[in-house]
Structures are given as structure tokens and as C-alpha cells.
Structure 1
Amino acid sequence: MRSRLALLVAATTTLVLLAFLIPLGLLLGNVAADRAIGAATREAETVVPLVATLDRATLTSTLDLMREDDNRKVPLTVFLADGTVLGVPAERNDAVELASRGSSITVEAPGGREVLIAAVGLPGGTAVIRTFVSDQDLRAGVARAWLILGGLGACLLALSLVVADRLGASAVRSIQHLDDVARRLGEGDLDAQAKPAPIRELNEVGTTLNALAGRIRDLLARERESVADLSHRVRTPLTVLRIDAEALNDHAEAERLTRDVIALERAVDQVIIDARRGTKGGDASDATEVVRERVEFWRALADEERRTVTSQLPDTPTPVAVGADDLAACLDALLGNVFAHTPEGTALAVELRPRPSGGALLLVSDEGPGFRDEAAALSRGASDVGSTGLGLDIARRTAESSGGGLVIGNGDQSGGARITVELGAPLRPEA
């Protein structure tokens, strides 16, 4: 935009300068020619009274003295009525003949212009005083004037470009600021505000953008409160369920159900916390520890359903840009899908691979029927087995919040589903 504005101003200014300077230059050329011809005419007119009053010898001497005078640059020639030529030698041409009839004229001649003054009323007849103005004298000072005009035009063009560049820079800075605010809003920073811009239209855009950010904050606040309230309502039936579990006669079964209810209560509490604090950022955890703990948690249920669970985890910590609770929820959603959508006895595998660039790859695979429609499986709320269809969406959002992504597919030879969660590396704290 900045370069295009400068180009537009340059083109417009150039056209205006050409429309102004070219006629002015031509006018200056005409003025210089008129000035030279006027000076030559006045010089010739000074000889008219001399021709009328001096004898031929004195007139000849006077013309010679005038020719030797350095202050008189114009050559003078006198054509008498009897054909005698005095002063600077010159040809008696048709223009001289025309002037001898009593007309003072100026005519074009090779290399310049001739100025012919008729001296009428003399005893011997009409005499003609001729002077010659060369092309160089006609254009005297014109080249210098063109240079001055050209320099003035260049200065005006440069000044207009500087002003256009400053105006363009101001507009570009305002647009870049609006772009930065819009990008920050898109990344979840709802506190981003557009500053007043020097351009009225851009200022209106900034005001609208600020109003939009405020509206988004209000809507998100309402949504968070709604989620928190809904989650809070779940606590009552959970409490009843916990009391019923503790009242079972089978102590081992009661302890197992109570433990599950407590875990569910913790999950509900976390939902309330997350809903009230809004978008999270900057969290990190050790993926190795989290994955190991969740695999052991699900291994007990896998043993009951005669499922073989294989896990491959690194021996060293694997830091990722996801909080421990979020990563646990992500893995629980993926493993829960395996248990919900594959027959009992279906084997599953969990693998965690550190990435060379930081972060990790979390792979969950099973030997079940796989995905019938991989594209539809990632659609939020879409499910063809009667579930809510949010398990994969939870995993996708967890991966994207860390700067990674989610890839789903079916096994190559053994069949089954294969899900890869790309987890980004946590940011290093600044020194």
C-alpha cells in the first residue's frame, strides 16, 4: 500500500508539473526571443536619425565605431536608396526590398532573424536599417531557465514523495496495528485493544474492533458461567452416587466405585475451574509421567475385559506444552473411545515418542474395526455409534493448544484405528 500510494502521488505530481512547467518553459523561450528582438529593434532605431542627418562619410565612420563598440553586439547594415550598403556587409534580399517600400518588418533568416527598419522621408528616397539576431541570442538564458524549472520540478516531486511516504507510513502503521489486534483476538487475547488512528476510516474500524472484542468477552463470560453452573449441578447426583457406593455390602466393590466417583468429582471440579479461568496458556507437564499414570489407571479395566495393553514410554521426562490435567483428559478420551467402540478382548497400544524439535508424539492404536469415515470422525459432535462424538475433538483441541495437531487413520496391515497426537514443546522462560 505504501509503495502504491507513493507511485500514485508520483504519477499525479508529474502530470501536474508537466502541465505547468512545459507551457511556462515555452513562454520563457518566447519572452527571451521577444527581448532579443526588442533590443535589436531599439538598436536599429537609433541609426534612423543618423541616416537622416549625417553625410555618407560621417555615417560610415559612425557605423564603424558602433561595430567596434563591445557593448553593441548587434550587427548594423544600412541600405541607401541608391543601392549603397554601409556598415556590416549584407545581401540585399527580398525582405530588404519589401522594407524599402516603407514597411518595418521582422523575418526569419538562416541562423536567426532579420529586423528591418524603414527610414522614410529622406531626400534620396527610403533607406533600410538592417540588424540580425542569431538563434543563440534568441535563446539566451532559455537553457538556464529550463534547468531551473527542471530542478524546481524535481524538488517538488521529491517533496510530494516524502509527504506521500509519511502519510503512507502512518496509514500502514495504523493498518498493521489493526492487523496485530485482530491476530491477538484470534489467538484468544481478548484484552487486545485498537488505539485511535489518525485516519478517520481506520479509527472507525478500530472502534468497531474494540466493540467486537468486548462483545466476545461478554459472550465467553456467559458461556463459562453456564458451563460452570451446569458442572456444579452435577455435584449433587455425584454425592448421592458416592453415598450409594459406600453403602454396598461388597467392601472391594464399594471401594472401587467410590474411587471412580472421586475421580469423576475431581474431573467436574476441573471443568468448573477451567470454565471460570477461560483460555489457558503457558501450561507444561511431563508427558512420560502423565501417560504412565493414565495407562496404569486404564490397565485395570483392560484386565477385566481381557484386553492386552502395550505401552512404550521413554525413560526420561518428556516436557510438553500441555498441562497434566489436560493431557490426562486427552488420553482418557482416546482410551475411552477404544473401550467404548471396540469389542471386549481387542488389544490396544500406547506409545510416546519425544520429537527432535521438542514436544512429543502420542500414539494410541487398537486392533478393532477402525474408522469407517476418517473425515467425519474429526467433526465435533459427529458420531455413528450413539456417543457424543467429543472424544476426538477434546484430543484435537488439546493438541492444537500446544501448537501441534491431531492425525487419525486406520492401520496398514493389521487394521484397527491409529491416532497420533502431536504435542508442542513448552516455551523456555526468558532470562
Structure 2
Amino acid sequence: MTALVALAFLVPLGVLLDRGTRAAALADAARRSGVVAGALAVTADPAAVTRAATAASADPAGRPVVHGVNAGGQPRAGAADVARATRERTVVVADVSGGVVRLEPVTVGRSVVVVEVFVTEAALTAGSGGHWLLLAGIALGLVVAAVVVVDRLAARTVASARGLVEAAMAVGDGDLAVRTQPSGPRELAEAGYAFNRMADRLVTSRTNERELVADLSHRLRTPLTVLRLDADALDSDDTSVGTFSAAELDRRRTIRRIRQAIVTLEGEIDVLINTTRKAVAHEAAPGMCDASEVVRERMKFWAALAGDQNRPHKVVGAHLRIPVAVQRAELAAALDAVLGNVFRYTPQGTAFEVAVSRRDGYVAIRVDDAGPGIANPDRALRRGASDQGSTGLGLDIARRVAQQANGSVSIDRAGLGGASVVMLLADADATPRQVSRFGLVGRRARERDPGQRRWPRQRATD
């Protein structure tokens, strides 16, 4: 575009300079012709005319020639051009070999003579080459300057856009402390300010949410304390000393489960309150826990309940340390939600299995059961949707925890015959993969439809 603008202005300027040079050469020819015309106005004597022509130009080639007076010189104009100048009584400029001639009619007595002045081609174009070279240099300089300026402006714009994109990606990955420095064009600067305001609002909303969770958790302590006091007032749950009937054994085991559940619930509420308070105060580091340890710890609680309901169960792969980027309390809550569904929606005596494995930068926590399965997996993964009359939040809790760890949740048919729920979490020890545009597209697609991911399960042999 800059080159076109330069050509639009500089080409007419060059043509104008060429015309000025030609006009200056013809003006000089008119001056020389005027000297001879002045002499003719005084006398038509050939000798006087010759002296005037010699005085007009020292160069013999540029001396005026008078048609009609024998004053010497070699005429170059054609007879037709001389006749036209005589007839029309006007100055005629005609092209001849090597340049142009200027024919000026002069009245001498009753007759008309024509003064001819030859202007060479070199005189007509004197300095034109230098003019065009100068204009070409100016045009090239303008183009180079425009390229440099546009490159600097584009670099600032690209840097501002790249900073905004990187900040948006960081916030999308969960780092709400990232802010961008608004810069660049006004539109990008306004977008940067809007992004910072959005991030501030997200931080405020998350802080308020965690405060609310902590407050609600604290409010649960009052009824929980009442339950604990009532449980302490119950009879002993010891079944190791004495002989008891089947009904008495069942009653004492029920009392034991109630007390264990209350203790576990108190511990979970304390962990929830402490975790949310630390997150609000920015005291907690990024969430990290050992998935195997969480599975082993939670299975101690669920194994006791499974023994009371005669449920065969198995834990596979939880003997090695497998770190994941999620807080322990959140992973425990997600695992409890999935195992709670097994105990809630399958008959007593139904077998289940919990397996932990790692592969290709991901950790899979799989919960299989031998129940009737899940008829509509996609509906089961939607928040608030349930075909069993519940709140529909159990699997959604697991899904949100998995997404916090850059993973997902999928439902499939288990090898035991029932449902298989797989929580896929990013392996905290895995080497980060190179980010690419296609990988980002795939990741966004998985977030939109988390049920599409399938984890190749490793079957345990009995």
C-alpha cells in the first residue's frame, strides 16, 4: 500500500520535473530568438543579423537561423512547419532529428521572416535521470520506513495479543493469580482491562464460595455433636467378649458402624473447614496427594461396611505411591461419592473392585461393581440428573475433581458385569507434553463431552 501511495505521488512529480526542464530549454530558445528578432526590428541587413545570431549563442549548433534573410546557418525545420508559422503568425515548436526547433515569425517591412532556434534532445532532458533516481530513492526510503513502522506496531500488537492469550490459558488451567499488562492498540488494552476485572471477579467468587462451604461445614458440627453424644450413650459395641445371640451381634455391629461413621464425618468436616480456610488465606500450596494412599484409607471405612453387607471386594494397584495434582480431601470426597453409589444402588452381597493404575501421563482410579449397571451413562454424568430419586451430584463431584486435575470421568461396562466408573487424573510425576494447537482442540473437545474418553482397563487375575 505504501508503495502504491509513493508511486501515485512521485510519478506525477517526476513528469512535472521533466516538463519543467523542457520548458526551461524552450524559454532559453525564446531568449535567443528574441535577440535576433530585436535586430530584425532595426535592420534586415544580413551582416547585422549574423552578428546578432552570433551574440545570441556561442555554440554554432544553437545559433538562430533566419528564414528569408541570408544570414548563414544550417536550417533544420521543414518547409511545411516554416510555412505554417508564417501563415498563422504564431510560434511553432516542431520535432526534428536530434531535438526540436522553435519557429518564431517576425514582420520585417511588408514581409514575414521566421527565426529558427534548434534545441537539442540533451538540453530538453538535462537532469531528468538524476530527478528520477532521486525520486526512486525517496520512494524506496518511504517503503522501508513504512515497513519498519508497521513491523514495530504489529510486533506490539502481537505481543499484547499473545500476553492476553497466555493469561487466558493460565486462568483456564486454574491459575487465577495471573494478570495481564494492558498494552497495544486501544481495543486490546480494553480487552486486557476487562480480562483483569474478570479474573478479580473469579477470585472473589471462589473466595466467597469457599467461605460459604466453610461456614456450612461449621454449622454441621452442632447436629453432629448431638449425634455423637447420643451414640456415646448407646450400649457397648464390643463383640469380642462374651456370647451373644445373632440379633445382639447385629445390634452391636450397628452401634459400632454408627460410631465409626460419626468419627469419620467429624474428621472430614474438620479437613473441609481447614482446607477451605487455607485456600481463602492463600496458605495452601497447589493441591497434591497420593492416590494410592487415599484409596487405601477410604477402603478401610468402606471395607467395614462391605463386611457387614457380605460384599466381596478387592483393591488392586494401591501399593505404590502415585501422586496426582488434586487435594486429598477432594479426591477422598470424589471416591466416597462413587463408592457410595455402589452401596446405595446395588443389592447387598454385590461384589465391587477398586483399582489404581497409571499410564501415558495419567492416573486412573477405577471402581467396578457386579450390579445392574447404569442404563444412561451420559445422563448420569450430568449435574442434578438422576433416575434413582437422588440429588444427582455424586458423579458430578467426581467429574469436577477430575477436571481440576486435567482429567475426566467415564462410565463403561465392568468386567464384573455392572458399572465401571473411571476417574482419569493427570499424573503429577509425568513429563509435561508439548502444547500444540491440535492438542488444545482435543482437550477442549474432551471437556465438552467428558463421557467420550475411555481408559484401557487392566484386568486383575484372581
State the TM-score, normalized to the length of structure 2.
Answer: 0.77
CA 1:186–1:160: 2 relative to 1, 3 Å: same
In the TM superposition, residue 43 of structure 1 has moved relative to its aligned partner by 2.6
**Of 18, 22, 31, the match for 1:42:** 31
**Counterpart in the other structure of 1:423:** 425
2:108 counterpart SS class? coil
What does residue range 15-94 of structure 1 map to in structure 2 within 5 Å?
A: 15-48=4-37, 56=46, 74=62, 76-81=64-69, 86-90=72-76, 92-94=78-80
In the TM superposition, residue 23 of structure 1 has moved relative to its aligned partner by 2.8
CA 1:319–1:91: 2 relative to 1, 3 Å: closer
CA–CA distance in structure 2, aligned partners of residues 333 and 73 of structure 1: 111
CA–CA distance in structure 2, aligned partners of residues 322 and 32 of structure 1: 84
**Counterpart in the other structure of 2:211:** 225
CA–CA distance in structure 2, aligned partners of residues 266 and 135 of structure 1: 106
Q: Which amino acid aligns with 1:342?
A: T
CA–CA distance in structure 1, aligned partners of residues 194 and 31 of structure 2: 76
1:149 counterpart SS class? helix
2:405 matches 1:402: yes
User: Is the 8 Å Cα contact of residues 118 and 127 (structure 1) preserved in structure 2?
Assistant: yes
**Counterpart in the other structure of 1:214:** 200
**Counterpart in the other structure of 1:5:** none
2:115 counterpart SS class? strand
In the TM superposition, residue 36 of structure 1 has moved relative to its aligned partner by 1.4
**Counterpart in the other structure of 1:325:** 329
1:419 counterpart SS class? strand
User: Is the 8 Å Cα contact of residues 76 and 88 (structure 1) preserved in structure 2?
Assistant: no
In the TM superposition, residue 102 of structure 1 has moved relative to its aligned partner by 8.1
Deviations 1:323-376 (A, max 9, x none): 33333322222111111111122221222112143x422211112121121111
Q: Which amino acid aligns with 2:393?
A: L
**Counterpart in the other structure of 1:270:** 271
Give the share of equivalent positions with the same residue, in percent. 38
CA–CA distance in structure 2, aligned partners of residues 380 and 182 of structure 1: 26
User: Is the 8 Å Cα contact of residues 36 and 56 (structure 2) preserved in structure 1?
Assistant: no
Deviations 1:359-405 (A, max 9, x none): 42221111212112111111112211122222212221222222222
CA 1:213–1:316: 2 relative to 1, 3 Å: closer
**Counterpart in the other structure of 2:447:** none
1:120 counterpart SS class? strand
CA–CA distance in structure 1, aligned partners of residues 91 and 34 of structure 2: 13
CA–CA distance in structure 2, aligned partners of residues 418 and 157 of structure 1: 67
What does residue range 312-351 of structure 1 map to in structure 2 within 5 Å?
A: 312-313=316-317, 315-351=319-355
CA 1:348–1:113: 2 relative to 1, 3 Å: same
CA 1:354–1:214: 2 relative to 1, 3 Å: closer
Bigger CA drift: 382-391 or 287-296? 287-296
2:134 matches 1:131: no
CA–CA distance in structure 2, aligned partners of residues 354 and 184 of structure 1: 26
User: Is the 8 Å Cα contact of residues 101 and 126 (structure 1) preserved in structure 2?
Assistant: no
User: Is the 8 Å Cα contact of residues 161 and 188 (structure 2) preserved in structure 1?
Assistant: yes
**Counterpart in the other structure of 2:296:** 292
2:389 counterpart SS class? coil
User: Is the 8 Å Cα contact of residues 63 and 87 (structure 1) preserved in structure 2?
Assistant: no
**Counterpart in the other structure of 1:391:** 394
CA 1:381–1:117: 2 relative to 1, 3 Å: same
1:262 counterpart SS class? helix
Q: Which amino acid aligns with 1:365?
A: D
Deviations 1:74-100 (A, max 9, x none): 36433225xx58312435411212334
User: Is the 8 Å Cα contact of residues 361 and 422 (structure 1) preserved in structure 2?
Assistant: yes
Q: Which amino acid aligns with 1:170?
A: R
1:307 counterpart SS class? coil
Task: Say which structure, 1 or 2, has more relative contact order (CA 8 Å, 6+ apart).
Answer: 1
Q: Mind listing any 5+ residue stretches in structure 2 that lack a counterpart?
A: 239-251, 432-462
Deviations 1:253-272 (A, max 9, x none): 44443222111111111222
The count of aligned residue pairs is 411
Q: Mind listing any 5+ residue stretches in structure 1 that lack a counterpart?
A: 1-10
CA–CA distance in structure 1, aligned partners of residues 277 and 61 of structure 2: 99
State the TM-score, normalized to the length of structure 1.
Answer: 0.82
1:426 counterpart SS class? coil
Q: Which amino acid aligns with 1:222?
A: N
User: Is the 8 Å Cα contact of residues 76 and 130 (structure 1) preserved in structure 2?
Assistant: yes
**Counterpart in the other structure of 2:371:** 368
2:103 counterpart SS class? strand
1:87 counterpart SS class? coil
CA 1:73–1:377: 2 relative to 1, 3 Å: farther
**Counterpart in the other structure of 2:453:** none
1:316 counterpart SS class? coil
1:90 counterpart SS class? coil
Aligned-CA RMSD value: 3.3
User: Is the 8 Å Cα contact of residues 396 and 406 (structure 1) preserved in structure 2?
Assistant: yes
CA 1:92–1:328: 2 relative to 1, 3 Å: closer
Q: Which amino acid aligns with 1:269?
A: D
**Counterpart in the other structure of 2:446:** none
